[in-house]
Amino acid sequence: MALHDENVVWHAHPVTPQQREQRHGHRGVVLWFTGLSGSGKSTVAGALEEALHKLGVSTYLLDGDNVRHGLCSDLGFSDADRKENIRRVGEVANLMVDAGLVVLTAFISPHRAERKMVRERVGEGRFIEVFVDTPLATCEARDPKGLYKKSAGG
């Protein structure tokens, strides 16, 4: 099936995003945490999700490693696959925003163009980018996945 097949149409649903947001008591939004491997993106996003949840905010955390176990399990780490990984996550995040959720994401996502693609899909004012600015030396010392050690070894 072609991406924009004429037989595939968008269906408007009777419950609007505004009604969903009213039910939740807040707007749907994406908080996009980006930074180096080992910078603490998942840790910070997880702590924020827990705090928001305790306040009664409807949240969901999309973590880079977790989505590669299911949604993106067929993707590798080529440039094309990395871009597709972010595109898929952006689509899921957009659906969750439409549902009225505060979506926290934790992805390395080093390319501005890919973050821009998601920002445009979600909509300005509903995408907040958070750069977890951890010094490279700290990330290398943490190296939870052994990526820096592997890189240094050639």
**Residue 54, in any domain of the structure:** yes
Q: Which of 37, 73, 109, 151 is catalytic?
A: 109
73 is a catalytic site residue: no
Q: What is the domain count for the chain?
A: 1
Give me the pLDDT at residue 154, please: 59
pLDDT in tens, 58-69: 999 999 999 999
CATH number of the structural domain spanning residue 48: 3.40.50.300
Eight-state DSSP code of residue 78: S
How do residues 47-60 score in pLDDT, each as one tens digit?
A: 999 999 999 999 99
Cα separation, 149 vs 135, in Å, equals 16
The two beta strands, 102-106 and 59-63, are parallel
Judge whether 144 lies within some domain.
no
Segment 13-30, tens digit of pLDDT: 899 999 999 999 999 999
In a domain, 147, yes or no: no
Q: Is the pLDDT of residue 46 over 70?
A: yes
Instruction: Show contacts of 52-60: CB within 8 Å, 24+ apart.
Output: 52/102, 56/25, 57/24, 57/26, 57/102, 58/24, 58/26, 58/100, 58/101, 58/102, 59/101, 59/102, 59/103, 59/104, 60/96, 60/101, 60/102, 60/103, 60/104
Indicate whether 142 belongs to any domain. Answer: no
The per-residue pLDDT for range 78-137, each reduced to its tens digit, is: 999 999 999 999 999 999 999 999 999 999 999 999 999 999 999 989 999 999 999 999
146 is a domain residue: no
Three-class SS state of 10: coil
User: What per-residue confidence (pLDDT) applies to 98?
Assistant: 96
Is the predicted pLDDT of residue 2 greater than 60, yes or no?
Answer: no
Domain ranges, residue 128:
17-132
Question: Does the pLDDT value for residue 1 go beyond 50?
Answer: no
